[in-house]
Structure 1
């Protein structure tokens, strides 16, 4: 099924200029065309149209998957906050006291691992050792990449750091967090942020993510 994703502006990659009224035409899990909405709409009048407020960009890469997914437990805000609080639980003794099964460590919500917040993430780096967690990541469609060189994310010095769930943290230019480009023939993998343009993306932050698309399907949509 053809889907036309229209945004206030389209930023196809790190060095590109924003295209006002840009759109992305998706067929299944691939992008078939990128360009002005009027042009693509006329080209595929039968396509379902999704209108997004803000800036459509490549999806983001998040570093430190093992620390976030295997070395911390993020309580379910709806069902566990009263008993466990809302902050991530870390430490071998604290995690052991939870009595988590392997299946519990790999549980998913809405098709994605629950420990990755909806911030436009389409890829993670790290080496995962828990089979259920690896399975959850694969089923979500997230791409698993090798650890960053030296164990640190780009723009962050030092081999060890407190891993953040924010893909923009420590980056001089938030566009360094882009994973790939939005281009015809490429995978339908991108994100939309409530930002007016590239210059305001830093101020808006990754938490301003409106939607995340992986493999042509909505992994996350702000309601």
Structure 2
């Protein structure tokens, strides 16, 4: 089943112009399409809709050490709560952290992306999304199509 994630603004990349009243269609772990909510709702009438307050865009890369927490699983979850689904190899060097990342769908990259390689939402790409409110706090994180964090 597809899900349409919608927000007042959608950013294909964090440096791109916003799509006002935008939306992203997610099917399983992939992006089906991105555009205006009105257009996508018409094209995917059977999809469920999740409306988010704030700005929706690609999930982020966590470039620093993973936040402190009692267990590797909780450290990875803290990253997800920040809107990131990618961590850097230098900060996930232990077998326990790598295993926790893998179990949660978090990707381990060898190095930080260049501005050209920044995360983006693209058709058929992995469905990694994040929603941020006006203060910059993460409202929701979608990792490989699964809602893994939602602020209450």
TM-score band (shorter)?
A: 0.7 to 0.9
The 2-side partners of 1:47 and 1:9 are apart by: 19
What is the total number of aligned residue pairs between the two structures? 150
Q: Select the residue among 103, 110, 135 that pairs with 1:146.
A: 110
Normalised TM-score (structure 1): 0.61
Equivalent residue, structure 2, for 1:210: 139
Point out where structure 1 has 5 or more consecutive residues left out of the alignment.
Answer: 76-104, 155-175, 196-203
The 1-side partners of 2:78 and 2:49 are apart by: 30
The 2-side partners of 1:188 and 1:143 are apart by: 12
More strand by share: 2
Point out where structure 2 has 5 or more consecutive residues left out of the alignment.
Answer: none
Q: Select the residue among 52, 69, 86 that pairs with 1:74.
A: 69
Q: Select the residue among 86, 90, 96 that pairs with 1:123.
A: 86
Equivalent residue, structure 1, for 2:54: 54
- Quote how far apart the aligned CAs of 1:142 are: 1.1
The 2-side partners of 1:13 and 1:182 are apart by: 7
Deviations 1:28-58 (A, max 9, x none): 0001111010111011111010000110011
- Quote how far apart the aligned CAs of 1:214 are: 0.8
Equivalent residue, structure 2, for 1:137: 101
| Superposition RMSD in Å | 2.3
